[in-house]
Structure 1
Amino acid sequence: MPNETPSDRMLARRYRLHTQVGRGGMGTVWQAFDEVLGRDVAVKEVILPHGLTDEERDLQHRRTFREARTAARLAHPGVVTVYDVVEEDGRPWIVMELIKADSLDRVIKGQGTLDFRRAAKIGGQMISALHAAHEAGVLHRDVKPSNVLLAAGDRAVLTDFGIATSTGDATLTATGLVMGSPAYIAPERARGKVAGPASDLWSLGITLYAMVEGRSPYERPEPMASLIAIITDEVPASEKSGPLRQVIEGLLDKDPETRLTTHEAGRMLDEIARDGKISGEYARPVALRSEPAADPAPTTAERVPATGLGMLGDPTTASRSSGNRMTGLIVGAIVLVTVMIVGGIALANSFNGDEEGAKPPVSTATETPSATPSDTRTPTQQPSQTPSATASAQTPPTGFRLYQDPTGYSMFVPDDFGAPDRQSLEAHFFDGAGGVRVQIGQTSDPGDSAIEDWNDNEPNHSGFNGYQLLGIEPTGDGLPVPSADGVASADWEFTFTGNAGGPMRALNRGFIMGDMGYAILVMAPADTWDQTMKKLEPLYASFKGK
C-alpha cells in the first residue's frame, strides 16, 4: 500500500490522521487512529473538483453523506464497513474499516494477469457482495479492479461506494455529472439510461476480463472513446480465460434483460474456482460472440470509430444539446463533448447518467495508438448518379436485399451484410470479412446546411488516429440527394488508422430528405475503397426516407 505524506491532524476531536494510503479523483484515503475506541481506521477525505457552484458543491456533499448511509446498511464480508461520517472544514469525511491490502488493480499491474481459477475465486466473492448490496436496494455503479481490495488469502473486498445509489434515493446528478469509470460502464449507462443491478454485473464482467487479460477491452486514450466503444463494439474474445470466457460473455451481454444474473454467474464462478470447469447442469446457453466474421472487423475498420461517427442516444436531442444545426442528424458529426474527470468520468452538461430520460450528445471516439496511414488523394468513387434499372424500390438487384428500418426508411443492402445492430435510431451494418462498416443515422430536426455543419465540426476529429482530411464538398450529382451547393447534401471524407494498424478510409454523407435528416457513413480499408463504393451504389440509389 502507498505510504505518503505524514500528518498528525485530529479530525472531529477523535480520529488522528497519520499517512495517506490512497488517492483518487474523488478524494484521499488516510490511515488514522480512533482515539475513542483505540483502533486503526481508514478515513476518506472527499475532495470536490474546482469550479463548482455553491449549489453543486452542496449537492456533492449530500451525495457523500448518502454514500455513507448506503454503505453502512451493508453487512457483508466482501464490503468495506463504514463506521462514521463527520463534517469538518465544510466537507464530509467518511470513517471506515481499514483493510491493509493492495487493490486488485495494483496486483494485476505488479504481479501480472491472474489464472482463470484464481480470477473465478475473486469474482465469486465480488458477485456475492454485489448480490447482498442489490438485495439491500443498493447499486455500486463503479465496479472495477481499483475498487477491489485483495487481503490475505485472496479475500476480496469491494470498496468505494462513492457513487453508489440506493433505490428510492433521489438522484444527485442534476448538474449533469455522470460518475463512473468509462472503460467499465455498462452500455445502458453509456446511453444515459437508468442503471440497475445488471449494470453492476456488466462491470464485473469487464473486471473478470481485466483479471485474465490485464486491461479492460474498452480502454481507450479518451473517456468518450471508451463510452462509444462500449456501445458500438463487441468485446474481443479472451484468449486466457478458459471456461471463464462463458461467464464473461454472459455478463457482457449488451441487453441487460438477457445478461447473466448473480445466481447464474455465481454458480458458474464457484464451479470454475472449485473444479476448473463448468458443469452442464448450471451453464445456460450463452451465445459466444463471433468476433471476426459478423462483427466490425477484428481488424479495425469495423471496430474503429463507429466511434466518432456514432450517435449516442436520441439524435434529435443530440442536435439541440450540441448547439449545432445539422449535427443531430449526423451519425457522423464528430462533436467533442466537454469532459471533466472526477473520480471516474463526469460528462459536464452532456447527459445525466442514471436519470431517466437523459439523452447523450453526439460524440467522438479515440482509437488505440497505431501507425498513421499515408494517403495520396484520389477522386472519390461516387455512387451511381442514376438508379440502375433493377435497383427499384421494390426489386433488389442480384446480391442485395431490401432492408426496411422500423423507423420508416428503406434501402437495398448487400446480402453479405449481416442483420443490423440497431442502437436507438441508428443501424450499423458489417460485411462478413472485408472490414466494411456502414452506419445510418437520422434526425427529425435537421439543420440549415449540411456542408456548413461538416466544416464546423471537422476540427473536432480527434476520435480517429492518424486522421487526414480528404475534403468536405457538396455531393454534386451523388445519390440519394444531389446537391450542387452542399446545402441539402454534403460529403466529409477522410482517412485514419484502423485498430490493426492498417489505413482506413471513410465517407460520411449527410442529406435532407423530406422532413428528415439522414447520414450514411461508410468505413472500409483504403486499399479496397473503390471496390467498396462501387458495390454500395445500389444502397445509395435505392435509399428512401420515411
Structure 2
Amino acid sequence: MEKQVSNRYRLLEPLGEGGMGVVWRAYDQLLDRTVAIKEVRYSGVGDARLAELTRRTIREARAAGRLDHPSVVVIHDVVEEDGRPWIVMQLVPSRSLAQVVREDGPLRVEQAAVIGGRLLGALRAAHATGVLHRDVKPENVLLADDGRVVLTDFGIASMEAEAGLTATGNVVGTPAYMPPERLNGDPAGPESDLWSLGATLYAAVEGEPPFKRDSWAATVAAVLRDEPEPPARAGALEPVIMGLLRRNPAARMPAEEAARLLYDAAGAVGLPPAPVSARDRAGATTGPPGGTRTETGGDRRPTLPGPRTRAGTRWITVAAAVITVTALGTASVLLGWTTLPTIGSTTPPTSAPTTEPTTEPTTEPTTGPTTGSAPTDGVPTATPTAEPRPTRAQVPEGWRVYTSAAGRFSIGLPRQWRAQKHASRDSVSFSRPGAPGTMIVEWTVPDIPWDDPRAHWIGLEKEILAKGLFKNYKRIRITPTTFLGRKAADWEFTRERDGSTIHVINRGFHTADGRPYALYWETTQARWQRDRDHFTALTNTFSTR
C-alpha cells in the first residue's frame, strides 16, 4: 500500500537522501499536482529532544514558507506525522550546483556571478524577515531546468527571534562551507550566510571549496586557522569571494557591496532584481541588490554570451528570457532568462544596434525557389514542415544569403531586406524598410541547461505572468515541433506595446552540439495573416554551420 502523508500527499518515489532525511516525489491529491516532500528524520535522540527538534523544524519551515523570492524554493505546507516533520515544497526539476560542477567542471566567472547574484538576493530577502539559512552550499543550490537558480533546504534555518530554540550547542551544516564563528560555537548571523556564499562561489569556479581537507577534523581546523588560498580561476570574482571569506564577521564584505561586485563580474550577462525590503529601501544608496543598479531596480543589463563548449568540459547554459529593443523599436522574447533581467524594460540599449558589415553577408548561387511563388514583397508563401532538413538550406531565386560568422548560421533574405547586428547582444535583426515585421535570430548562450524547449517556454511564460511584464498578454499556443531535425517548440502570443497589439512567434531549439537559438518573428496584429508566411519562408532558409 502506498504511503500517504496527512491523508493528502501520496509518496511516489524517493528523490534523494541526506543526513537530515529523505526527499520524496509526491502527489497532492487535493490540488492535483506533483510536489516534493522532505521527510525530516532525527536519529539518536530521546523523546524529549525529538519533540523539541520537531517543533523547531516546523516553526522554521513555516518561517521560510513566508519568504517570497524567485530564488527561494516555495514551501506549500508543513505537517507532522509519525512523530516527525514533513515539509511540502515545490518540485523543481533541476540539478544541484554540486552536481553540475562534478559532472561538467567548474563554471565560468560570468556564470558563477549570475548564480551568486541570485543567491544573494534570496539571502537578503530571508535576512530582512529574520530568517537565516545556515547551510548554504552547492548541494542546496538548484539550477532548475526552466532556468531559475533556487536556494533550498531552509529546514535548518532559524528565526533570529527564536534563537533560544537553536541554542543547543549542536553544529548543523557542512564544515567546508561553515563560517569560523559557528565552528567556534558563536551564534549565527546574516554574515554567516554570506561567508557560506563566498565558499560556495569559490567551489563553483575552482571545483572544490577553499578549506577542503582529507578529514572532517582537518577541515574544521583549516576553517578556524588558515587563510583561504586565493582562487586561481575566479578573475573578477576574486574580490567578492575573498571579501566574503574574511574570518571576522564584522570585517566581512557587506551584502550591498557584494551585490555590486557580482553585478560587475557578470558583465553584460545581467542579474535579476532582488526584492527590496522597507529597511533596505530606507537606507540604501548604492549597490545593485541581486543585480539592479539601485535598490528600487529598473536599470538592468542585457545578457552576455559565452562559449558553450571547451575541451573536456560541457558548459552549462542558462535558459535566458530577454527583451531586446532594436533600432526599429521592436521588443523580442528570445532565448530567455527566466528571471527576465531586461523584460519589460523601456530603456533602449546603451548603444544602438549597428548595421552588419557588408563583408559578412555573402551572395551565393541559388538553386531555385523551394518554398513556392513569391508575393509582391519578395517573401514566398510557404507551409511549415516537421521533416529534418539539410544543414545547408536552399534559398528562393533572387534572394541573397546572409552569413553570420559569430552566430554560425546562414539565412536567406529577400530583396530590400536589411540586417542589423545588435551592439551588445548576440542577435541580428532582419527587416524591410517601411514594413512593421521584424525577424530576429539570437544565439546568446545562457548559463543553466534546459532540454525541453516547450517546457522552457512554459516556464518563461509563468515568469512573465507572475511579474506582469507583458501588457494584455495572451497565449495562442506553445507547440512542440522539430527543426533541422532537432526537438524545438514554437511559442505564439500577442501582447500590447505602445498602444498597439503585436503578434509574435518564437522558435527555440538547440543544435546537435548544444548551441541554443531563437528564431523570433513579430508584426502587428493587423498584418499577422498577411505576414505570417514571412516567418516560415525565412526559417526555411535558415541553416547552421
TM-score between the two structures when normalised by the length of structure 1: 0.48
TM-score between the two structures when normalised by the length of structure 2: 0.48
